[in-house]
């Protein structure tokens, strides 16, 4: 199943993307609500029921492409945790040693945006960089999750572009400021449930294109720490909750490592793609001065 947070006539809703098109499941059943996080908090049975309802939905609940637009998939996750340096080649191009443990930092909700919304080059810097990433969405609460069973805690997978203001990121050893500018973290467009993908979303091709040019190209099997390892590791420290998001790091090919550097400019278009999950597309604009 593919679940989206959408706007229908500027009203928040949830949609399920099917072979017939996007089903407005909020209109189909008002008890579904418009919050993906709240839906996940109801447990796996709620998702299973939603899949059945969407498959059987009458034609009147199908939305034409022009009748809706995407919202940020999870606009207010309880936690948004990101991995740095989780691909060997990227750690090398960033001049870091290969990490022995997951390198973790946080994203704030104010930095997130939706599929097709503009990535923003801030007025204070010209070093907005792209990072194609697979993101994991947690489906149920868990602490001290055993690695052997960790994938049972996954609600699904989506796409993330970890837009980074490199000069601000490198001001200190902590990356938080450079990773949290407003309008730099596209997330979506849909949550793809695990039954549609290989176990742990392994062996899927991950790419970044800017203006159609292929700039990042790897597979999710190149990750140093896989999904199960990361879930188990993080849950040693904190209780993971439904709707939490974990971005799994980016492969090599980022703009800052290119010679000369290739930072994003107004007019560019970024496209993150992961095989069998989809494409996350965002134009780039300059912040109003």
* Residue-wise pLDDT tens digits, 247-287: 999 999 999 999 999 999 999 999 999 999 999 999 999 99
- The SS3 of residue 93 is helix
pLDDT confidence band for 90 (50 / 70 / 90): confident
Position 62 scores a pLDDT of 98
The DSSP 8-state label assigned to residue 126 in this structure reads: S
pLDDT confidence band for 289 (50 / 70 / 90): low
- Does residue 91 register a pLDDT over 80? no
- Domains located in the chain, CATH noted: 2-70 (no CATH), 80-286 (3.90.850.10)
The count of C-alpha atoms lying within 13 angstroms of the C-alpha of 129, restricted to the half-sphere facing its C-beta, is 24
pTM for the predicted model, two decimal places: 0.96
- Maximum separation of any 2 CA atoms in the chain, in Å: 55
Burial of 14 (0-12, 13-18, 19+ CB in 10 A): buried
Distance of CA 175 to the CA centre of its chain: 19
* Residues with Cβ within 8 Å of residue 273, at least 6 apart in sequence: 132, 159, 205, 206, 207, 208, 209, 279, 280
């Amino acid at each position: 199943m593919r679940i989206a947070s959408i706007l229908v006539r500027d009203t928040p809703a949830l949609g399920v993307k099917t072979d017939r098109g996007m089903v407005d499941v909020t209109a189909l059943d008002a008890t579904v609500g418009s919050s993906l996080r709240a839906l996940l908090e109801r447990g796996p049975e709620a998702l299973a029921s939603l899949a059945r309802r969407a498959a059987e939905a009458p034609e009147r609940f199908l939305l034409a492409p022009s009748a809706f637009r995407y919202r940020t998939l999870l606009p207010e996750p309880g936690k948004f945790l990101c991995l740095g340096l989780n691909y060997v080649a990227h750690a090398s191009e960033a001049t870091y040693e290969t990490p022995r443990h997951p390198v973790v930092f946080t994203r704030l909700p104010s930095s997130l945006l939706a599929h097709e919304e503009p990535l923003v080059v801030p007025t204070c810097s010209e070093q907005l960089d792209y990072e194609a990433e697979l993101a994991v969405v947690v489906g149920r609460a868990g602490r001290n999750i055993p690695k052997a069973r960790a994938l049972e805690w996954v609600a699904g997978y989506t796409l993330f572009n970890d837009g980074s203001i490199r000069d601000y990121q490198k001001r200190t050893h902590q990356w938080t400021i450079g990773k949290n500018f407003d309008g730099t973290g596209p997330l979506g467009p849909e949550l793809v449930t695990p039954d549609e993908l290989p176990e742990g979303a392994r062996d899927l091709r991950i790419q970044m294109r800017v203006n159609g040019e292929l700039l990042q190209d790897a597979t999710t099997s190149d990750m140093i720490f896989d999904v199960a390892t990361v879930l188990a590791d993080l849950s040693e420290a904190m209780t993971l909750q439904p709707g939490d998001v974990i971005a799994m790091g980016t492969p090599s090919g980022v703009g800052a490592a290119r010679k000369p550097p290739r930072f994003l400019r107004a007019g560019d278009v970024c496209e993150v793609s992961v095989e069998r999950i989809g494409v996350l597309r965002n134009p780039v604009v300059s912040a109003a001065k």
